[in-house]
Amino acid sequence: MLLKRYEEQNLLFNSNFTEPAGGGLTAYRGDLVLTEGEVADASGRRKPPTASVRQAVLLAGDDKLVLAAGQLDELAKLPLFVERYAADFAPDMQAVFFVNNIGKPMQLALGGVTFRLLPLEDGMVWNELLEELRLEKSDLKGQSAGEKVATVCAALKDYKARGAEVALEAALADTIEVKHGGRGPV
């Protein structure tokens, strides 16, 4: 099973859940490693990853990803995702990433998959994904967490993405600078 292999390779962290989603699929929500942290000690434990897909939402069969969604701090990290995981992409994989440093929606073809990229400075990927797909709580009522991810994947098949299709170089040239405001108690 693909997600089990990722877990054994320590590519999943800050996990919310990994569970069956029906139809031979397994769902995962948590973070996904793009670049591993350096080795921290003699027993091989690693420091936190230096790059990751935050709040990742994955749906996988035995050996292929059928859904990949999450948040990237910057668009330049998308090629890291493709480089590391492209061998596991299903031909019809649904991919939606919320990216901090883009100012408008766009579509980008990489690794044989069209990535739908949406700007998001701050927010929860799962909530934004449901809103983007116009899924209501009633659409997910009575489903397990894994089945909810499968419902999102099914809804993405009919989703009409906003934004023009652009080349990676043009997209990288059109990024914006993001300034995060102060957070915490006043």
Q: Which amino acid is at 77?
A: K
Lowest-confidence region among 27-31, 79-83, 116-120, 160-164: 160-164
pLDDT of residue 121: 82
Per-residue pLDDT tens over the stretch 140-163: 999 999 999 999 999 999 998 888
Per-residue pLDDT tens over the stretch 164-185: 899 998 888 888 887 655 555 6
pLDDT of residue 184: 57
- What tokens were used for 134? 């116009």
Per-residue pLDDT tens over the stretch 89-115: 999 999 999 999 999 999 999 989 999
Average pLDDT, the chain: 91
pLDDT of residue 186: 57
Res 30 pLDDT > 90: yes
- What tokens were used for 46? 């690693």
DSSP structure string for 84-98: HHGGGEEEEEEEEEE
pLDDT of residue 157: 92
Report the candidate in 137, 133, 136, 138 with the shortest Cα–Cα distance to residue 153: 133
DSSP structure string for 60-79: E-SS-EEEEEEEESSGGGHH
Dihedral sign for Cα atoms in the order 20, 8, 96, 48: positive
pLDDT of residue 84: 96
